[in-house]
């Protein structure tokens, strides 16, 4: 019982950290606020966001493998598969902004150049898609917890 509580708590903390840093990226990634400090901050936020995402997935896998319900229960649940599919889509969507944030930081440090407005808009769109898809995962989790 203690292991289940610890795994659930770790998963929840990872999810909340993930949400906070995705939200921070969404708030900062806009041309009207773009300056050298924001470029540096976006790159740092992205690292924390990536670590939180990895911890979220690792703690979720741990719950599947070592949790009370067991892997067979999770794998037999259709909402589990929908939830995992959406999370995988979010992971794929996050690769481009991560690469771009690093490229922006490298350009800033080497030439002092800030990103172009069109590029900021494209990256912001991907971050916002992730931000709007994430609550769908939460809704699925709520329905799943209530026996759907």
User: Length of the chain, please?
Assistant: 148
CB half-sphere exposure, 68, CA atoms < 13 A: 7
Q: Given phi > 0 = left and psi -120 to 50 = alpha, else beta, which region is 147?
A: left
Give the whole-angstrom CA distance, residue 26 versus residue 127.
6
Nearest 10 degrees: Cα torsion 27, 33, 38, 44: 10
With bands split at pLDDT 50, 70 and 90, how would you rate the model's confidence at 122? Answer: very high
Structure tokens at 132: 């709007």
Give the whole-angstrom CA distance, residue 74 versus residue 11.
15
Structure tokens at 10: 């770790």
pLDDT the model gives residue 148: 81
**The whole model's pTM is what?**
0.89
pLDDT at 70 > cutoff 90? no
pLDDT at 147 > cutoff 80? no
CB within 8 Å of 145: residues ≥ 6 apart: none
- The per-residue pLDDT of the chain, averaged, comes to 94
């Amino acid at each position: 019982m203690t292991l289940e509580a610890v795994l659930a708590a770790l998963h929840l903390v990872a999810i909340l950290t993930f949400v906070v840093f995705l939200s921070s990226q969404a708030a900062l990634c806009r041309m009207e606020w773009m300056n050298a400090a924001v470029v540096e901050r976006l790159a740092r936020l992205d690292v924390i966001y990536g670590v939180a995402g990895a911890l979220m997935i690792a703690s979720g896998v741990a719950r599947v493998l070592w949790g009370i319900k067991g892997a067979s229960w999770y794998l037999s649940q259709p909402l589990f598969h929908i939830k995992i599919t959406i999370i995988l889509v979010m992971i794929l969507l996050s690769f481009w902004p991560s690469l771009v944030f690093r490229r922006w930081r490298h350009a800033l440090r080497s030439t002092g150049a800030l990103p172009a407005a069109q590029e900021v808009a494209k990256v912001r769109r991907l971050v916002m898609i992730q931000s709007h898809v994430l609550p769908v995962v939460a809704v699925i989790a709520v329905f799943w917890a209530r026996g759907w």
